Amino acid sequence: MRAAVLVFPGTWSDNDCVWALSQVGIESRKVWHRETHLEPDELVVLPGGFSYGDYLRTGAIARFAPIMESVQCHAEAGGLVIGICNGFQILCEAHLLPGALVRNESLQFRCTDTYCVPVNTTSPFTRGLDASRGYLFPISHGEGRYVADEPTLRMLEDTDRVAFRYGTADGRVTAEANPNGSMKNIAGILNERGNVLGMMPHPERSCEPLLGNDDGNAIWRSVLASVGVRT
Amino acid sequence: MPVDDRALQQVAMSREEYRRLVEMLDREPTEVELGMTGALWSEHCGYKHSRPLFHYFPTTGPFVLTKVGEENAGAIDLGDGWVCVFKMESHNHPSALEPYEGAATGVGGILRDIFAMGMRPVALLDSLRFGPLTDRNNRRLFRGVVAGIGGYGNCVGVPTVGGEVQMDASYSGNPLVNAMAIGIGRREHLLSAAARGIGNPLVLVGADTGRDGIHGATFASVELSEGSDEHRPAVQVGNPFMEKLLMEACCELAEQHGDWIEGLQDLGAAGLTSSSVEAANRAGTGIEIDISLVPRRAQGMNAYEVMLSESQERMLVIPKAEHLDDVLAHFRHWELHADVVGHVTDDQMATIRDGATVVARMPVGIFGDPPQYPPAGQRPASLDRLQAVDPGAQPDVVDPSATLLRLLGSENLASRRWIYRQYDHMVQNNTIIRPGGDAAVIRVRGTSKGVAASTDCNGRFLALDPRTGAAMAVAEAARNVVATGATPAALTDCLNFGNPEKPDVAYQLEEAIIGLSEAARVLNTPVISGNASLYNETPGGAIIPTPGIGMVGVIQDIEGCLTIAPCEGDLLLLIGAAVEQPASRLAGSEYQHVVHETLGGLPSIDLDLEARVQRLVLDAHARGLLSAAHDLADGGLAVAVAEMCIAAGRGIAAAGVEVGPRLDAALFGEAPSRFLVAVRDTAAAASVVDLASLAAVPVVDLGHIRGDTIALGPIAVSVAAASGEWETGLERALAEG
């Protein structure tokens, strides 16, 4: 399997994603935002960063980048798309995912380890994950508080589209474990078909024991399993 | 041109310096020439008071690749073709006026110094000083500076991995913001900032040029006063998004197309003036610039303004003429403006034209030859009085447990998590030891190597004895690096002092440089880059001398680096001294400051012992004997033990340790040259003791890491209580009022 790691002006997690994917044997190519070609069987990664400087609003300008039309088509055709941090913000701005990401409740940037408890365990990204524990994914954002209206939140929960909630290492979802004030502790959500995942935490940062943890690789392994690659 | 006092004042040039310029030119300078010369002869660019002292610095060593001042930053050899470049620079005056933008542009400026050398920035550290946080304005400055560092650093994708902050009354209204950046890359990608190759074009890349920051270099070279607010336009505004594009474009150029260019230079203080003239001076060439070709963001700018603008996020590229189109296309790909604004000449002149009109034409050598003022220092009488204070005259500590908790929660010792959780310290996936330890450790991707970095300086020791205090700063920075298992390799310094034209400050400056140099020589850590920030004075007086030290060490086996967190059951050893200490060791300590609210006594350091102790720790680590290490510094033994216990989430059983007649000196005294190390078992402890006796270094077995109480001599506090005070101290200090 190959991955297309998108690069917008201001993206900074592209190299980290390439590195993390290489840890589980996924080869990547970087795709500049002005390009338009994506292979149907590629995993499309929208990495973190400050695309276009986060000017105007996070992700608001990136959604108009030439590559985004291809991302839209890729998603509609059932291709896999994951947006991490700024990538999640872009997917929301592009209406590939519902809701929005606003300023952290603390009004401050937060860079820290968090534990994310899988909720959906059937999507291509989460099917191998253990819902009874938290996975260590660091966060690094100033605007990561997930908000949506009440019907949307209910719909996400009723249709098993919450991918992760902030919680504890032993899998409890608590108010204290919520680092940014996200509604319902939501850290990541899926689209209706389950082929698009957006999440604020950075699984690509927990990709090897030397960095303290490799929990993030569970997501990539799940993706590999979903396309029939054994790891 | 008839010149009046006001015109000279505007460029911070004295009448005498003006006469010197006229003599060198053999005519009166034009307005543009005067402005350019004033900026380059300012203390900030020309180091006219500090350069005469640079000869003290040791500048060569086994790791050193560049000589200090030769390029924008110094470089060391990591082996196997890998190079590490680093530098620290001040942005004090701008941050005093506009804390957010001042600090943000300080980060931006130091990053450009790194990628101007073709190296990819891999880490940032920030050494900060503020007045006490009991004061509302100091809290405002503190919050603004932290937000500015985060706002810029987080956006450009370079992790902010370390630094330190200290509060002292002398920094009230004159905060210190010293940013350090580290770059790593392949040796063959190292670029020079020289304008080589006659006829090669000069290409200005990045932001348009505006009126921001004009006279910034000059403003940084005078004291802050009531009227300083009027200099607000001298503070630049940062655009980290543009910086990110510049950084990627320049790093890619160096890595993939280094053969297209002759030189790369950042635009910092004094903007286009300093970058072009310095590049010409390095190459022994001349430059010709037509300011009408410089893209502007403001209308009606004259030559003077264009040449002295300090608009941020600009680089000067000197491509080989035949690759000009390639270079322009490269920057276009990165969606950056790039314009030819001049070319390299063979006449060693700086010629500035505005279209057809020549507005300045001077030998570049004049700019590079600022007047030098060897400091006329005089030891202030107040120093004798300060040093004569006997810390032992104060009564001993009454309740050591309560005092430990108070110190752990104090603004200078409390956890810095409130700060670093606002900084992205993980991006790039190479941060092996995160902020909060003794030094940060960054992996060199693709190798088993790493670099450790720490910034340090306790200005209070320098206030008591500048020579000893500066040596202690170098020693502490080296100890912090050693505590991770790294071999200290070289240092960068940021010389923050008051007005050097005053005899007492001149004395401090020279003494500090001598002390710094002595320690750097003994510890084998040459000075490879640096910066001087003088004139740190407000109407309230000068800051205490603060030569910030940025130390970088090299780790050969990244898998084996050490943190400060021991494991359950480990034995904790004190290395370097007996537990018992004389009361004189309280001189300049945090205990003296917090408990007795005074400063006095005479600090001292035995550099030979310091070197032996550091070698011993590295030796023991190389033999695999250590499971954790921590240097002893602010707060002394008790605070260091508590910090290790907090990190481990475990207590220590060291109640039986003989503490000696003076409890305060033993527990809270700040003698240098000491470490705490954890070992797994008694056999490892015995091996460390053997090594220590060979090295003639004292070792004391303190006790086992276990339980949930920090029991150290007369101290008994729960880890939870200690951790609670320590974790929340800074937030509480910032919340008041």
One DSSP character per residue, B522-553 reads: HTT--EEEEEEE---EETTEEPPPEEEEEEEE
Q: Is residue B614's pLDDT more than 90?
A: yes
Rg over CA atoms, chain B: 26
CA dihedral A178, A180, A186, A190 (to 10 degrees): -140
Q: Does residue B563 belong to the interface with chain A, where contact is any CB pair within 8 Å?
A: no
Cα separation, B712 vs B718, whole angstroms: 11
Cα(B482)–Cα(B672) distance, rounded to whole angstroms?
14
The confidence band for B221, taking pLDDT boundaries of 50, 70 and 90, is low
- Cα–Cα distance measured from residue B430 to residue B123, given in angstroms and rounded to the nearest whole number: 9
To which H or E segment does residue B254 belong? helix B240-257
- Reference B266, options B221, B311, B305; nearest CA is B311
Task: Identify whether the C-beta of residue A86 lies closer than 8 Å to the C-beta of residue B244.
Answer: no
CB B446 within 8 Å of CB B177: no
Beta carbons of B15 and B8 less than 8 angstroms apart: yes
With 0-12 / 13-18 / 19 or more C-beta atoms within 10 angstroms meaning exposed / middle / buried, residue B382 is exposed
Give dist(CA B10, CA B298) in Å, integer.
Answer: 21
pLDDT at A60: 82
Q: What is the spatial distance between Cα B318 and Cα B282, in angstroms, rounded to a whole number?
A: 13
Q: Which of A136, A120, A141, A137 is nearest to A189 (CA)?
A: A120
Residue B60's Cβ-count burial label (10 Å; 0-12, 13-18, 19+) is: exposed
pLDDT digits (tens, 9 = 90+) for A145-195: 999 999 999 999 999 999 999 999 999 999 999 999 999 999 999 999 999
Structure tokens at B183: 């770059």
Q: Is A52 on the interface with B (CB under 8 A)?
A: yes
Query: What are the catalytic residues of A?
Result: 85, 202, 204
Work out the minimum CA distance from A86 to partner chain B, whole angstroms. Answer: 11
Cα dihedral angle (A222, A227, A229, A230), rounded to 10 degrees? 50
A55 has a chain B CB within 8 A of its CB: yes
Q: Is A169 on the interface with B (CB under 8 A)?
A: no
The CA-based angle B144-B149-B150, given to 5 degrees, is: 95
Split at pLDDT 50, 70, 90, the class of A105 is very high
* A32 phi/psi in degrees, rounded to 5: -70, 150
Domain positions in chain A are: 2-226
Q: Which of residues 103-142 of A touch B (CB under 8 A)?
A: 108-112, 138, 140, 142
Which class in CATH covers the domain with range A2-226?
alpha beta
Residues written for chain A? 231
Strands A81-84 and A43-46: parallel
Q: For residues A197 and A220, what is the distance between their CA atoms, to the nearest angstrom?
A: 12
SS3 B378: coil
Tokens 């338009």 identify what position?
Answer: A36
> Which of B456, B500, B396 has the alpha carbon at shortest distance from B714?
B396
Specify the pLDDT at position B208.
93
Residue pair B310/B225 in contact by the 8 Å Cβ criterion = no
| Integer CA distances (angstroms), B141 to A110, A187, B132, B146, B296, in order | 20, 33, 11, 9, 31
Q: Report d(CA B379, CA B714) in Å as an integer.
A: 41
B181 touches B123 (CB < 8 A): yes
pLDDT of residue B531: 92
| Per-residue confidence (pLDDT) for residue B231, from 0 to 100 | 62
**Cα(A204)–Cα(A215) distance, rounded to whole angstroms?**
9
Which entry of B44, B93, B425, B593 is annotated as an active-site residue?
Answer: B44
Residue matched to tokens 């004009």: B214
DSSP B558: G
The Cα–Cα gap between A200 and A213 comes to: 18
Mean of pLDDT values over B139-150: 97
Phi, psi angles (nearest 5°) of residue B341: -115, -5
| Per-residue confidence band for B737, with pLDDT thresholds at 50, 70 and 90 | low
How many residues in total does chain B contain?
737
Average pLDDT, chain B: 94
Q: Whole-model pTM above 0.80?
A: yes
Of A9, A20, A205, which has the smallest distance from its Cβ to B426's Cβ? A205
What is the number of other CB atoms lying within 10 angstroms of the CB of residue A229? 13
For testing the chain B interface, which of A55, A111, A114, A214 should be mutated: the one with the most B CBs within 10 Å?
Answer: A111
Cβ-defined contact of B426 to A140 (cutoff 8 Å): yes
Which pLDDT does position B660 carry in this prediction?
A: 86
pLDDT in tens, A15-67: 999 999 999 999 999 999 999 999 999 999 999 999 888 777 777 888 889 99
- Enumerate the residues of chain A whose CB falls inside 8 A of the CB of residue B108: none
Burial of B322 (C-beta count, 10 Å sphere; 0-12/13-18/19+): exposed
- Bridge partners (DSSP) of residue B88 are B180
Number of H helices, E strands in chain B: 25, 27
- CA distances to B143, B178, B505, B544 from B130, rounded to whole Å, are 11, 12, 20, 12
Q: Is B695 exposed, middle or buried (0-12, 13-18, 19+ CB in 10 A)?
A: middle
Report the pLDDT averaged over residues B284-309.
Answer: 93
| Helix/strand/coil for B329 | helix
Query: Residue A137's closest chain B neighbor by CA?
Result: B426
Give the per-residue SS3 of B482-525.
Answer: HCCCCEEEEEEEEEECCCCCCHHHHHHHHHHHHHHHHHHHHCCC
pLDDT digits (tens, 9 = 90+) for B259-294: 999 999 999 888 999 999 999 999 999 999 999 999
Closest CA to B641 of B709, B698, B710, B541: B710
- How far apart (Å, rounded) are the C-alpha atoms in residues B668 and B396? 11
- pLDDT of A11 reads 96
Cα Rg for chain A, rounded, in angstroms? Answer: 16
Please give the Cα distance from A198 to A83 (Å, whole number): 5
Residue B661 phi, psi dihedral angles, 5° rounding = -65, -40
End-to-end CA distance of chain B, in Å? Answer: 54
Over residues B508-512, the mean pLDDT reads 97
pLDDT band at B230 (very low <50, low <70, confident <90, very high): low
Per-residue exposure over B615-628, b if at least 16 CB sit within 10 Å of its own CB, e if not: bbbbebbeeebbbb
- The candidate with the shortest Cα–Cα distance to A59, out of A137, A143, A138, A178, is A143
Residue of B nearest to A179 (CA): B421
Cβ neighbors of B241 (< 8 A, separation 6 or more) are A9, A10, A50, A52, A53, A54, A55, B155
Among B242, B422, B432, whose Cβ lies nearest the Cβ of A108?
B422
Compute the C-alpha angle B299/B304/B305, nearest 5°.
Answer: 40
Q: In this prediction, what percent of chain B has a pLDDT beyond 90?
A: 88
Q: Does A143 touch chain B (CB under 8 A)?
A: no
| pLDDT (average), residues B353-359 | 96
Coil, strand or helix at A105: coil
Q: Residue B217 — pLDDT band, cuts 50, 70, 90?
A: low
Distance, in Å, from the CA atom of B225 to the CA atom of A28, rounded to the nearest integer, reads: 56
CB A171 within 8 A of CB A133: yes
Asked if the model's pLDDT at residue B46 lies above 90, the reply is no
**Alpha helix stretches (DSSP H) within B426-465:** 459-464
Can you give the pLDDT at residue A45?
A: 98
Q: Determine the pLDDT at residue B682.
A: 96
User: B422 to each of B13, B133, B151, B164, B498, how far by Cα in Å?
Assistant: 41, 19, 9, 14, 31
pLDDT-based confidence at residue B646 (cuts at 50, 70, 90) = very high
pLDDT score at B227: 66
Residue with tokens 């920051």: B213
Quote the pLDDT of residue A111.
Answer: 98
Cβ under 8 Å to B: A residues 197-226: 202, 204-205, 207, 210-211
| Interface contact B241-A53, CB threshold 8 A | yes
CA B332/CA B354 separation, integer angstroms: 26
Chain A: give the shortest CA distance to residue B422, in Å.
5
